[in-house]
Amino acid sequence: MSRFTYAPAPQATDVVDIRSSYGLFIDGEFVEATGGHRKTVNPATEQVLAEVSDASPADVVKAVKAARRAQTRIWGPMPGAERAKYLYRIARLIAERSRELAVLETLDNGKPIRESRDADLPLVSAHFFHYAGWADKLGYAGLGPDPRPLGVAGQIIPWNFPLLMAAWKIAPALATGNTVVLKPAETTPLTALHLAEILQQAELPPGVVNIVTGAGATGEALVGADVDKVAFTGSTEVGKAIQRQVAGTRKSLTLELGGKAANIVFDDAPLDQAVEGIVNGIFFNQGHVCCAGSRLLVQENIAEPLVERLQQRLTTLRLGDPMDKNTDIGAINSAEQLQRITDLVAAGEEEGAQRWSPPCDLPEKGYWFPPTVFHGASQAMRIAREEIFGPVLTTLTFRTPEEAIAKANNTPYGLSAGVWTEKASRMLWAASRLRAGVVWSNTFNRFDPTSPFGGYKESGFGREGGRHGLEAYLEGAR
Amino acid sequence: MTSATTLMGLHSLPGPDADDAVLARFLHGLPGVDEVGAEARVAQLATRSIKNESKDWALDMLVRMIDLTTLEGNDTPGKVTSLARKGIRPDPEDPSCPSVAAICVYPDLVADVAAVVAGTDVKVAAVATAFPAGRARMDVKIADTTQAVADGAHEVDMVIDRGAFLSGRYGKVLEEIVAAKQACGDAHLKVILETGELATLDNVRRASVLAMIGGADFIKTSTGKIAPAATRPVTLVMLQAVADWRAATGRMVGVKAAGGIRSSKDGIRYLVLVNETAGEDWLDPDWFRIGASSLLNDVLLQRRRRRSGVYEGPDHLTID
């Protein structure tokens, strides 16, 4: 028995009103879908939260038509300064209602309330604030004197940061004069639907943002509909299918896909902070992060003691009720994802890597996976090559800086990387050689709306965030 | 010796008579501290929510860890004896309220405090070695220490020579710590690093290790006379240093955060920091202290609120 146990500190859930069922948000109103319904559950308890609509191809066409009307008649011709006013209003409303949205995000996604409250929601409103500022300054973004919007954007987002990904997609599209049809992930649609309420509250003109819920078929219908732009965040497999689908059409495309990021620790690193960075790199959001630092590359001379220190740190992680304010590791988002993680971990053991987890009790109900570290892995193993998208870290070693870079780049992905060293020349040397869209220097998984984010190779193309994020939604800028 | 000891650069320690060159090589070989990362870690731990019975436990622990302090030029025997009585029995209306750890005063007032706390568990701590600046000849500093111990101090809070530390004369800093430890005899030695003047967290780690080589029983953040005094990033680094030191040598050294901790909420954040950094072994007045004056009354208000359910005004507590 520990001397200082933390009593349960549950966040109250009555700050959010969840309706029993939700329609589609088309042309400024919630409407009935024609494609049927599905249930969305709380992955920590397996309790049903609400019934959500499945948009049929006909529903999608209706949403795209509404978006087209709004784009050509209202939003496209509107001066940037006027669009900015709406975006600022949305940003403020999100900030004001952030507790409610954080609670809803945690209920629907399973991530700890500490993260939805301290990471997701502040970034969501910050993203709208950032792009609100751009709306009347597009001529000064280095993309020509009067860059034009593309038109209607079809946007498909994943379940790992549901509302944040919605913000990453909607804010730059709206700032540049495009209108949007957004499809949230089928396991986490609720915060996007509550965002729709906020858009109503902000009196955003009808049709500027439309939200169609559903699974893969809905997404496919959206990609195939009369849109000018497709923006997708999700798996590389689906990303490739989308790229095939839009090939030969006039539609422009940006993809933000998977990753298998290297987190490189040199022997002259700030070690205590490196340990924190490793933890934050792979166990943030249960490892459901496309840019997660899932491959730890440690210099051989410190590998054993560093991993020992890491394991000691992992014993202090608190896994459990995501709604408890002291929880560090929440639930896996779905039974399907849990199965994928379980399978890959089994493959890792089969291929001869040693598996380690801190002692921790998993709740009986819900989808859970303990923080896991693999030792003695090699580059050839599946756990070192495939994206696990769960709280599983694979540790590898290197002897020389050249070997570290070679191993880090030896992946079909290239979304992010981390480098830990106190030596600035080594940091710059490594960063310039890593083929990854983001390289974190003595930190990991830090996000900011001003900083572009996106991948190399099979991690996708196009950038989101900052000035670069405007390019994906402007004519002639690509 | 564990391999983690090698990692943290503590596998071959210089002796207490090492010279500047040896100490510089050793101290500058310790792993660096990334300031941004340390701040992010303490900010994350500050979000821990301590409720109900764990809050009761934490409030009592805070009282037991307080070095109730007055270090003013206008301190009088009357003032320090009244403070000592308060430290023995902080809440006269609640006999279940524990005593504080120690009363911390200037050396010339040690005898007055010792007379009051005699027969209780409350200790007398004296700041010595030309506190707070430490600018005096070594023989003066040692005389200061010897007098405090002779008058009944159980604990001596010495200051390091920051001028010597910052100019790389580590041997001089170490020599003074070793001499002060010797002058302390059975009294416990707390070494004040005055981290507000050391400026970087790298220096905080180096000074922590240097003090432990010199035989410190406790390492302490600040005098309270310099801003910033105790901060949580500094305390984080010191807690990591003592945990590494135990892993390397088997010897446990305490940590004292002093100055600027005024509210129960802030105090509890320090307890969380101790719990999740050095570990629960340090959650004990023998191994973690908080140097404070106004913190005690805020903790007492919180204790009363937990028992009665209502906030009482500060007029219900004594001013000492």
What global pTM score does this model have? 0.95
Secondary structure class of A44 (helix, strand, coil): coil
Tens digit of each residue's pLDDT (9 = 90 or more) over B80-104: 999 999 999 999 999 999 999 999 9
| Residue B137 forms contact with A (CB below 8 Å) | no
| Residue B139 forms contact with A (CB below 8 Å) | no
| Residue B96 forms contact with A (CB below 8 Å) | no
Contact between residue B62 and residue B283 where contact means Cβ atoms under 8 Å apart: no
A17: how many CB neighbours lie within 10 A of its CB?
9
Q: Output the pLDDT for position B5.
A: 75
Asked if the bond preceding B132 is cis, omega within 30° of 0, the reply is yes
The verdict on a CB contact (< 8 Å) between A326 and B49 is yes
| Residue A237 forms contact with B (CB below 8 Å) | no
What is the ipTM, given to two decimal places? 0.94
* Closest C-alpha to B108, from B80, B138, B142: B80
Best residue of A1, A2, A5, A6 to probe chain B, by most B CBs closer than 10 Å? A6
Q: Output the pLDDT for position A3.
A: 84
Nearest to A9 among B2, B6, B51 (CB): B51
Q: Would you name the residues of B annotated as active-site residues?
A: 157, 220, 256
Tens digit of each residue's pLDDT (9 = 90 or more) over B276-314: 999 999 999 999 999 999 999 999 999 999 999 998 888
SS (H, E, C) A190-207: HHHHHHHHHHHHCCCCCC
Residue A138 per-residue DSSP state? G
B43: how many CB neighbours lie within 10 A of its CB?
12
Instruction: Locate the chain B residue with the closest alpha carbon to A309.
Output: B4
Q: Which residues pair with B220 in a beta bridge?
A: B192, B256
Give the pLDDT band (50/70/90) at residue B1: very low
| Residue A269 forms contact with B (CB below 8 Å) | yes
CA pair distance A109, A42, nearest whole angstrom: 7
A274: tokens are 């490196």
- Please give the full DSSP string across B220-243, using - where no structure is assigned: E---SSSSS-S-HHHHHHHHHHHH
Query: Which H/E stretch holds residue B111?
Result: helix B110-117
Contact between residue A364 and residue A142 where contact means Cβ atoms under 8 Å apart: no
Q: Does residue B264 have a pLDDT over 80?
A: yes
CA pair distance A188, A190, nearest whole angstrom: 6
CA pair distance A8, A387, nearest whole angstrom: 34
Tell me the angle at which helices B264-276 and B52-65 cross, rounded to the nearest 10 degrees: 90
Q: Output the pLDDT for position A372.
A: 98
Chain A residues in contact with B209 (beta carbon < 8 A) = none
Query: Which H/E stretch holds residue A418?
Result: strand A416-420
Q: Output the pLDDT for position A477.
A: 55
Give the pLDDT band (50/70/90) at residue B3: low
CA pair distance B158, B131, nearest whole angstrom: 7
The verdict on a CB contact (< 8 Å) between B31 and A2 is no
> Which segments of A176-314 does DSSP mark as H helices, in order?
190-201, 216-224, 236-246, 271-283, 300-314
Chain A residues in contact with B61 (beta carbon < 8 A) = 4
Asked if the bond preceding B228 is cis, omega within 30° of 0, the reply is yes
| Residue B306 forms contact with A (CB below 8 Å) | no
Nearest to A2 among B8, B53, B280 (CB): B280
* Closest C-alpha to A190, from A174, A213, A164, A167: A213
CA pair distance B29, B238, nearest whole angstrom: 17
Secondary structure class of A171 (helix, strand, coil): helix
Residue with tokens 């849990």: A338
Best residue of B49, B234, B275 to probe chain A, by most A CBs closer than 10 Å? B49
> Which segments of A316-391 does DSSP mark as H helices, in order?
335-350, 382-385
Contact between residue A267 and residue A301 where contact means Cβ atoms under 8 Å apart: yes
| Residue A300 forms contact with B (CB below 8 Å) | no
Looking from the CA of B199 toward its CB, the CA atoms found within 13 Å total 4
The verdict on a CB contact (< 8 Å) between B47 and A443 is no
Chain B residues in contact with A272 (beta carbon < 8 A) = 31, 33, 37-38, 237, 240
The verdict on a CB contact (< 8 Å) between A442 and B34 is yes
Residue with tokens 């129960």: B264
Size of interface A-B (CB pairs under 8 A): 89
The verdict on a CB contact (< 8 Å) between B3 and A305 is yes
| Closest CA of chain A from B38, distance in Å | 7
The verdict on a CB contact (< 8 Å) between B55 and A302 is no
Nearest to B3 among A270, A273, A304 (CB): A304
B27: tokens are 């101290």
B193: tokens are 């690093």
Whether A256 sits among the annotated catalytic residues: the reply is: yes
| Closest CA of chain B from A312, distance in Å | 10
Which residue spans within B221-319 are E strands per DSSP?
254-258, 288-292
| Residue A7 forms contact with B (CB below 8 Å) | yes
Instruction: Locate the chain B residue with the closest alpha carbon to A278.
Output: B37
Chain A residues in contact with B237 (beta carbon < 8 A) = 272
CA pair distance A405, A409, nearest whole angstrom: 6
The verdict on a CB contact (< 8 Å) between A3 and B280 is yes
Give the pLDDT band (50/70/90) at residue B233: very high
Chain A residues in contact with B247 (beta carbon < 8 A) = none
List A residues 106-165 in contact with B (Cβ-Cβ < 8 A).
Answer: 114, 118
Instruction: Locate the chain B residue with the closest alpha carbon to A302.
Output: B7
The verdict on a CB contact (< 8 Å) between B38 and A273 is yes
Q: Which residues pair with A294 in a beta bridge?
A: none
For A198, A245, A258, A389, B286, the CA distances from A234, given in Å and listed in that order, are: 25, 16, 7, 11, 53
Instruction: Locate the chain A residue with the closest alpha carbon to B43.
Output: A118
Of A100, A115, A186, A256, which is the active-site residue?
A256
pLDDT averaged over consecutive 10-residue blocks of chain A (478 residues)?
87 97 98 96 98 98 98 98 98 98 98 98 98 97 94 98 98 98 98 98 98 98 98 97 97 97 98 98 97 98 95 96 98 98 98 96 97 95 97 97 98 98 98 98 97 96 97 82
Q: Output the pLDDT for position B2.
A: 56
Instruction: Locate the chain A residue with the closest alpha carbon to B202.
Output: A270
List B residues 211-270 in contact with A (Cβ-Cβ < 8 A).
Answer: 237, 240
Contact between residue A228 and residue A252 where contact means Cβ atoms under 8 Å apart: yes
List A residues 26-85 in contact with B (Cβ-Cβ < 8 A).
Answer: none
**For chain A, first and last CA: distance in Å?**
60
* Closest C-alpha to A218, from A34, A445, A428, A417: A34
Average of per-residue pLDDT across B184-210: 98
Chain B residues in contact with A3 (beta carbon < 8 A) = 275, 280, 283
Of A290, A386, A464, A471, which is the active-site residue?
A290
Q: What percent of chain B is predicted at pLDDT more than 70?
A: 99
Chain A residues in contact with B3 (beta carbon < 8 A) = 304-305, 308
Best residue of B1, B7, B35, B64 to probe chain A, by most A CBs closer than 10 Å? B7
Q: Which residues pair with A264 in a beta bridge?
A: A297, A419
A215: how many CB neighbours lie within 10 A of its CB?
15
Chain B residues in contact with A7 (beta carbon < 8 A) = 50-55
Contact between residue B292 and residue B276 where contact means Cβ atoms under 8 Å apart: no
- Average per-residue pLDDT for chain B: 96
Q: Is the dihedral of CA B320, B228, A443, A130 positive or negative?
A: positive
Give the pLDDT band (50/70/90) at residue B150: very high
* Closest C-alpha to B37, from B237, B245, B238: B237
Nearest to B49 among A304, A306, A325 (CB): A325
Tell me the angle at which helices A236-246 and A216-224 cross, rounded to the nearest 10 degrees: 30
Secondary structure class of A56 (helix, strand, coil): coil
Name the pairing type of β-strands A416-420 and A438-441: parallel
The verdict on a CB contact (< 8 Å) between A305 and B32 is no
Q: Is the dihedral of CA A185, A189, A191, A197 positive or negative?
A: positive
| Residue A12 forms contact with B (CB below 8 Å) | no
CA pair distance B258, A434, nearest whole angstrom: 45
Amino acid at B301: L
Whether A29 sits among the annotated catalytic residues: the reply is: no
A286: tokens are 């249960």
Name the pairing type of β-strands B155-159 and B188-192: parallel
